[in-house]
Amino acid sequence: MGIFGENYKDIWEHFANENNYNFEKGTLFHLTEITDSKSPWKSIIAPYIVSTGKSSTYYTAVYSYFRLIRPLNFKILHGTFLSRLWEMFGTEYIKTGYEDFDNEYRVKCKNDVETVKQLLRHNEQLRSNLIIMGNCRLYFDWSHMFSHFSPENGQNCLFLYFYGLTKDFEMLKLLFQTTNIILQFLYEKGYIEKI
């Protein structure tokens, strides 16, 4: 145990063992990962690091892979001062009709607004999970990312992350649960298929 308590890697390993997930401890050239092999989707929790060259910011992220068979691209972002300002100047966001969620998050969709509205309106657990996770970002069909976890050819990715490397079991569970809710809904609607 270090000066700041247990290392996140040790906690993630304990979480993975307790829940029968696969765990790979990170090395100098490979990030620590937890893989949910029980899910119909290949989902991986791992650190997401944004570096400026002078400093780095760490996030906890989940990457879930699927094959998109109908066009759909959307993002759910925690509301910021700038997003509220853009809204005042006419930028339109999808509203769910649930005030607590609509106040907290901004939702944009490029092609099928009605499906995204249904996803958010009919899934109280999804809205609740995003509110509990707090300042998080979710990108659906993030197929052009440049990272160790970039999707292979013909695959697409749902990418969800929040600030910091969490040591909280419940937050780790919420990451897997949230992506499973979204992907199962879209699978049943005929937008995606399993890989």
Interstrand relation of 156-163 and 192-193 (parallel, antiparallel or unpaired):
unpaired
Condensed to tens digits (0 to 9), the pLDDT of residues 29-60 reads 789 999 998 888 889 999 998 888 899 999 99
Query: Do the domain assignments include residue 2?
Result: no
Model pTM score: 0.88
Query: Do the domain assignments include residue 184?
Result: yes
Looking at residue 165, its pLDDT comes to 93
Query: Do the domain assignments include residue 3?
Result: no
Query: Do the domain assignments include residue 159?
Result: yes
Query: Do the domain assignments include residue 163?
Result: yes
Condensed to tens digits (0 to 9), the pLDDT of residues 143-174 reads 555 566 777 777 889 999 999 999 999 999 99
Query: Do the domain assignments include residue 17?
Result: yes
If one counts the domains in the chain, the total is 1
Condensed to tens digits (0 to 9), the pLDDT of residues 80-115 reads 777 667 677 767 889 999 999 999 999 999 889 999
Domain that holds residue 137: 8-193
Query: Do the domain assignments include residue 43?
Result: yes
Query: Do the domain assignments include residue 83?
Result: yes
The yes-or-no verdict on residue 1 having pLDDT over 60 is no
